[in-house]
Every structure is written in C-alpha cells, then in structure tokens.
Amino acid sequence: MNALTPDEARALAVIDGQRPAMLARIEAWSAINSGSHNAAGLARMADVLAEAFAPLGGALRRVPGAAGSLVDAAGRVQAVTHGDNLHIVKRPDAPTRVLLTGHMDTVFGVNHPFQACRWLDDDTLNGPGVADMKGGIAVMLAALTALEASPVADALGWEVVLNADEEISSPGSAPLLADAARHCHLGLTFEPALPDGTLAGGRAGSGNFAATVHGRAAHAGRNPKDGRNAIVAAADLALRLAACAGDELSVNPAKIDGGGPGNIVPDTAVLRWNMRPRTAMAQSRAEAAINEAVAAVAVAHDVHIHVHGGFARPPKPLDANQQRLFDLVKDCGAALGLAIGWRDTGGVCDGNNLAATGLAVVDTMGVRGGAIHSADEFLCADSLEERAKLAALVLMRAARAGWQR
C-alpha cells in the first residue's frame, strides 16, 4: 500500500464536508422522474446534469440515442426512440484518458408509486434512483472536482457519458459508449456497491428476447383441429428454453402475451425471456439452443416463429486486464483505510459493454446502497465522501502512473 502523498491529501480535502451538498443534489435529482421511457423527465434530467457538470470546464454535447425497436403485445415490431445522452470531454490529448460512465434513467416510470425520498434513519436515504444511480453521478462529480484541484490533472484526460437508457440495456447509447471506450485507457462506472462496500467482479452477460408465434385461428368447439394454437406453441418453446439452463447459463421465461375468448383457438402469442450466460462460449451455446428450440417448435406445432432481440450485454469475466484495475482500486482503498473486496454477480450494466471493447473497467464505483429496482432502494449517506475520495484517488494515481491499456 502506498500512503497518501501530501498533494493527494490536499486534493482529497476538497471533498471533506461535501456530504450535505451531495445529498441536496441527490434528493433534487431523485425528485425528477427519469424513467427510461419518460422523454420529458429525461430531457429535464439532462438539463440539470449539464448545469451541474459545467463548472468542470469540459466540452459538452447532447447525443441523440440511436433508433431502436420492440415487439408489442400483439407481436408487431414498433419503432422506439431513446433519450439524449450527455458526452463531456476534457483534455482529449492527455497521455492517459479515462472514461467515466453513469446513467440518468431509472426503472421507475411516471405511473410508478415510488416517486419521493424519505429518511429511514440518520444515515439511510430511501428514494427512486438514490443509489442506482443518481447517487453515483454525484460521487463522480465530486471525484472529478477533486481531480481538477490536483497537480496531476493535466496528465489525465477524461470523458463522461451519462446515458438515458441503461436500465433497458443501453440500445440507444451503445454506439456512443463503444466509441468512447475505444480511445480511453481505463474506465470507471458508478453503479452502486453493496452496503458493505463489496464491488462487482466478473459479470454474467444478458440477452432479452421476444418470439412472436403465428398460428391459425379456429372455432374451439366446431373445428379445433383446423387451428394451430399459438399459446400452446409458445408454452412449449418456454419449456424447451428453460431446459437449456445450467451452471453457466440462467434462463427466465418471463411472459406470454396473446389469446382471447375461450371459444377461439389463439393464432398469435408473444413469448418473452431473458438469458444470462457467464462465458462467451455459454452465450454461443445459448444462441444455438434458441435456434434449435424455435425450429423444433415450429415443426411440432405447424406454426411460424419470429425471434426479436439478442445479447445486448456480453459476459464480463474478471480476467488479467480487469484484475489490474481492480488491484489499483484496492490499493487506493487501502491508502484511505477502506477494505475493498469484490465478487462475481449475475447482474449486468454498461461495464459489460465497455469491457467487451478491451477496456479495463471497475463498474461499482458509486455509493454503498441496496434494494435497487424496488421501492426499498436505499443509499448509505456515510458513503458519499468515502466513495468520492476513492474514485478521485484512482484517477490521480492512474494519471501519475501514466496508465495505458
């Protein structure tokens, strides 16, 4: 462990006493509903974040999300637009460049009952997005402010991407993230750590799919054999896919849309499922299994099936490239008196996609917190200054070392 240098200590002192200001930001940001499909809320959030990051002096631009599509309950493919993303760049010609990412969207739409913050105790804030990840964005901002106060700032160029669609697998921001990752040397993503500070190590990949099954309608009493029951075929497909699960692949058939009156053989159904492979080989096997199951069900039930979707998040193994950055984070934690540990998880985030470009990225640099994606989501307020200092020290030491890929 390398102890803090006097220059590092002075730069980190900028963060001392910032808890009230950081909390005020988080509570104000949490009050803005920015569900992934709330265009107006996301636009408001982008405005507020642009204003908050402006004092850092980077060149800021708003990048429209790439066009996307989804399958509706009737099996129709619909065009989808995504919110604008913020891209901020400072010192792009510096010898070492770091990519910092966060997302402004949450899983809580405008009609969700969870819309307000409340204190559970003196140190625990409950609210939508407080941990995942408006608290993380506040930590990122404080860390960059400390970096800019340090004498090594000129040696480090940085890019910030704050995207609007991470909670739906970043379909609109994926091109921006991949482009930024390719010309940076390391990455930090500000998803929340666990309440005890444990980081996510290796991550499984994730794919979301929708299979539209086209059968044939018929009268359920007069001529049911002339029909081709799309619901039954979709259920058969769900069972076949579920049987593909194993140690390196989880499969979750989640929903079947379709059907109608009990006296009509249903001619359309939509099966939706998620798959999480732990390795690239497991992902390849999953793709082959989907093709095999679809072909078998189509023949067995005399139906036509169209599959929409794919693996938007590739697996992120904790390989030697990733381990090197984890070791830097651990050493910086030790210098601050923090014990940094990590463990593999089935959860996914933009870190999966960044790592797939060859970038080393630690993707749980945000607040300590938990119960994310639920109305019990919470932030540990005593982690705000702690995690900001950790991120700032990682940035300063990466600059000092001249970190390269």
Q: Can you give the C-alpha Rg of the chain in angstroms?
A: 23
User: What are the structure tokens assigned to 132, written together?
Assistant: 């995942």
Residue 219 in this model has a pLDDT that exceeds 60: yes
Structure tokens of 184?
A: 């940076």
Cβ proximity of 60 and 162 under 8 Å: no
Q: Output 235-238 pairs: Cβ under 8 A, ≥24 positions apart.
A: 236/297, 236/300, 236/301, 237/211, 237/213, 237/271, 237/293, 237/294, 237/297, 237/305, 238/271, 238/273
pLDDT digits (tens, 9 = 90+) for 93-103: 999 999 999 99
Q: Distance between CA atoms of 87 and 101, rounded to whole angstroms?
A: 9
- Evaluate if residue 1 carries a pLDDT over 90: no
* Section 86-92 average pLDDT: 98
Query: 112 and 134 in contact (C-beta within 8 Å)?
Result: no
Identify the pLDDT of residue 319: 96
pLDDT higher than threshold 70 for residue 262? yes
Strands lying side by side in the sheet with 304-313: 249-258, 268-277, 206-214, 304-313
Distance CA 323, CA 39 (A): 38
Euclidean distance between CA atoms 207 and 197, whole angstroms: 28
Mean pLDDT of 50-56: 98
Which residues contact residue 300 at a Cβ distance below 8 angstroms, ignoring those fewer than 6 apart?
233, 236
* pTM for this prediction: 0.96
Nearest-angstrom CA–CA distance, 120 and 216 = 55
pLDDT at 58 over 60: yes
Mean pLDDT of 177-190: 97
pLDDT in tens, 124-176: 999 999 999 999 999 999 999 999 999 999 999 999 999 999 999 999 999 99
Q: Which domains does the chain have, with CATH numbers?
A: 6-70+81-204+315-401 (3.40.630.10), 206-313 (3.30.70.360)
Q: Read off the pLDDT band of 185 (50, 70, 90).
A: very high
Closest CA to 397 of 325, 349, 342, 345: 325
pLDDT at 76 exceeding the cut of 80: yes
| Average pLDDT score, the chain | 97
pLDDT at 2 over 90: no
